[in-house]
Amino acid sequence: MATAAARDTAGSRAYGVTAGADDTAGHQHAFDAAVAADERIEPRDWMPDAYRATLVRQIAQHAHSEIIGMQPEANWITRAPSLRRKAILMAKVQDEAGHGLYLYSAAETLGTSREELLDKLHSGRQKYSSIFNYPTLTWADVGAIGWLVDGAAITNQVPLCRCSYGPYARAMVRICKEESFHQRQGYELLLALSKGTPEQHAMAQDAVDRWWWPSLMMFGPPDDESQHSAQSMAWKIKRHSNDELRQRFVDICVPQAASLGLTLPDPDLKWNEERGHHDFGAIDWAEFWDVLKGNGPCNEQRLTRRRRAHEEGAWVREAAAAHAAKHSNGETGATRA
Amino acid sequence: MTTTPAAGTAAVTAAALALGDDALVLSHRLGEWAGHAPVLEEEVALANIALDLLGQARVLLSMAGDEDELAFLREERAFRNLQLVEQPNGDFAHTIVRQLFFSAHQYLLYGELASGDGPFAPLAAKAVKETAYHRDHAEQWTLRLGDGTDESHARMQRAVDALWRYTGEMFQPVEGVDVDPSRLERAWLERTGEVLRRATLTVPDGPRTGAWAAGAGRQGLHTEPFGRMLAEMQHLHRSHPGAAW
């Protein structure tokens, strides 16, 4: 809860409308004090416009990533090699759609709408995580995504459970619980392959070789090239720098790879006694920026499919609205048995 | 209920395959929607229904043998599912009508099986609860789309007309399923007719079985798209004989 002074006591201020200039200094002071005291900023509280804009951008990008992120995994639903794995994968993709819904709701508390955000995604004005622009070429990729991509996401997102903006922090608590489950399932899938036939082991190794570096890029550019980091950390939206989280992730993955019986594709990867961390090789930042610019292997395919689902579904959404308008007394529902 | 067949008998295996294949195949079709749904809420709903059906399929196929061997190593002619559930998704209207027809049937069938003491009673008791949600979801969308815009109405009527010919097969007797199909059929026609009428849709007066002999799917006679569906579903499993996943 933010301090009473930071609240708009009238409770009627429209979203996105800043208070009169004479109040701004007082509001800013109360906001800074609330953030400094680790209190939560809530939707009806005054907040700086830039704080609001940063959160909308970040939460929207996060929501978009959940939705686009369904595609590489859905690619394998119809080919899953056992019914148990098929059920796990379906449940996971369903969870991701649910995460998207939580996050769009969290973004809406900042005065935007899901329609507007989807429109920005479809027109390329808002981004999603670059990792989803890589293709899932074999069944083992489903495991590598669970272990590495969800693992990186969790490393990134657990600190967001303490984010200064309340609705985002609360969404992250729910999401991280489910993500941890997905991550363990991915690890377990890879373990089964690694300990399976030679062909299955090779499939697992190949997937890890392809997904390792893109997963490291998920933490964003190096600290000295990250535009928003310093401000986000000052606002306590972020709690740790990109490089700090990336290092944490590498340190977690090395022993896990060893227990999987798989290697990580980095000849420079080794324990550094002095630092108490693993040193690792140089990331190909040219590739990172290139994928971000839209030139990755699947950028075009992912957005096209998302747009098409939206366009092909337009008649359904129009019908639902028309029906609701005709039956505004709510007599639609077939009764539950 | 008359005499109930004992578990492990040929009759129970036959019934488990028929009902299990229905759930398996429809689940697979719904899984194809992932990432294509018209609204996010439907990504969740369709995946949810697919998961429920897959859960039913796993229990039923396990009553008949090894679930993965049965799902991944049988040829098309050995599958016992209704032709209705293997129909391609088409547009959202087509998917909803297919679900409406099937879930209304499943709800009635599992209601009957749950009230007996046969080998399917435990599964049916759980499945009937899931199916109530599936039916409700399909009925609500039928009302919305049938009585929505001109376009949604036209799409729904097309889907109803196209799928009607596959509904008769649901009421053919199935070996090992100890339920009176004609009673189910009367209840199904009444409920489905009522929903279509409220959705301003016309109940077709055409035949409820295709040119095939009734019960074609139950005898392993399927429609053309089914073989392609199986090829995709089984490819990876068949590429690694004997592997564990």
For residue A310, the chain B residues in CB contact (below 8 A) are 38
For residue A306, the chain B residues in CB contact (below 8 A) are 35
B67 with A83: Cβ contact below 8 A: yes
Taking only the tens place, the pLDDT of each residue in A62-87 is 999 999 999 999 999 999 999 999 99
B233 with A74: Cβ contact below 8 A: no
Judged against a pLDDT cut of 70, whether residue B13 lies above it is answered with: yes
User: Contact A268/A94 with Cβ under 8 angstroms?
Assistant: no
User: Contact B225/B88 with Cβ under 8 angstroms?
Assistant: yes
Mean pLDDT, all residues of chain B:
95
Judged against a pLDDT cut of 90, whether residue B144 lies above it is answered with: yes
For residue B139, the chain A residues in CB contact (below 8 A) are 334
B151 with A100: Cβ contact below 8 A: no
Instruction: Note the pLDDT of residue A113.
Output: 97
Chain B residue whose CA is closest to A311:
B38
B58 with A101: Cβ contact below 8 A: no
Does residue B191 sit at the A interface (CB-CB below 8 Å)? no
Instruction: Note the pLDDT of residue B213.
Output: 63
Instruction: Note the pLDDT of residue B214.
Output: 61
Judged against a pLDDT cut of 80, whether residue B210 lies above it is answered with: no
Instruction: Note the pLDDT of residue A328.
Output: 85
Judged against a pLDDT cut of 90, whether residue A18 lies above it is answered with: no
Judged against a pLDDT cut of 60, whether residue A19 lies above it is answered with: no
Taking only the tens place, the pLDDT of each residue in B91-138 is 999 999 999 999 999 999 999 999 999 999 999 999 999 999 999 999
Q: Distance from B8 to chain A by nearest Cα, in Å? A: 22
Instruction: Note the pLDDT of residue B206.
Output: 81
B71 with A83: Cβ contact below 8 A: yes
Taking only the tens place, the pLDDT of each residue in A76-133 is 999 999 999 999 999 999 999 999 999 999 999 999 999 999 999 999 999 999 999 9
- For residues A36-53, average pLDDT: 97
Burial string for A113-127 (b: 16+ CB within 10 Å, else e) reads ebeebbebbbeeebb
Radius of gyration of chain B measured on its C-alpha atoms: 17
- For residues B57-77, average pLDDT: 98
Residue with tokens 């429920």: B52
For residue A204, the chain B residues in CB contact (below 8 A) are none
For residue B140, the chain A residues in CB contact (below 8 A) are 332-334
Judged against a pLDDT cut of 90, whether residue B25 lies above it is answered with: yes
**Encoding tokens for residue B102?**
């099937």
- For residues A16-20, average pLDDT: 48
- For residues B45-55, average pLDDT: 98
- Let me know the angle formed at the C-alpha of A100 by A97 and A103, rounded to the nearest 5 degrees: 155
**Encoding tokens for residue A188?**
């377990």
- For residues B168-190, average pLDDT: 94
B132 with A192: Cβ contact below 8 A: no
Residue contacts between A and B (CB atoms, under 8 Å): 158
Chain B residue whose CA is closest to A96:
B44
Instruction: Give the mutation candidate from B94, B134, B144 for the A interface (greatest A CB count, under 10 A).
Output: B144
Instruction: Give the mutation candidate from A84, A86, A99 for the B interface (greatest B CB count, under 10 A).
Output: A86
Question: SS3 letters for chain A?
Answer: CCCHHHECCCCCCCCCCCCCHHHHHHHHHHHHHHHHCCCCECCCECCCHHHHHHHHHHHHHHHHHHHHCHHHHHCCHHHCCCHHHHHHHHHHHHHHHHHHHHHHHHHHCCCCCHHHHHHHHHCCCCCCCHHHHCCCCCCHHHHHHHHHHHHHHHHHHHHHHHCCEHHHHHHHHHHHHHHHHHHHHHHHHHHHHHCCCHHHHHHHHHHHHHHHHHHHHCCCCCHHHCCCHHHHHHCCCCCCCHHHHHHHHHHHHHHHHHHHCCCCCCCCCEEECCCCEEECCCCCHHHHHHHHHHHCCCHHHHHHHHHHHHHHCHHHHHHHHHHHHHCCCCCCCCCCC
Judged against a pLDDT cut of 70, whether residue B225 lies above it is answered with: yes
Closest CA to B36 of B110, B91, B85, B117: B91
For residue B36, the chain A residues in CB contact (below 8 A) are 305, 308-309, 312
Instruction: Note the pLDDT of residue A4.
Output: 43
A316 with B39: Cβ contact below 8 A: yes
For residue A67, the chain B residues in CB contact (below 8 A) are 40
A86 with B31: Cβ contact below 8 A: yes
pTM for this prediction: 0.93
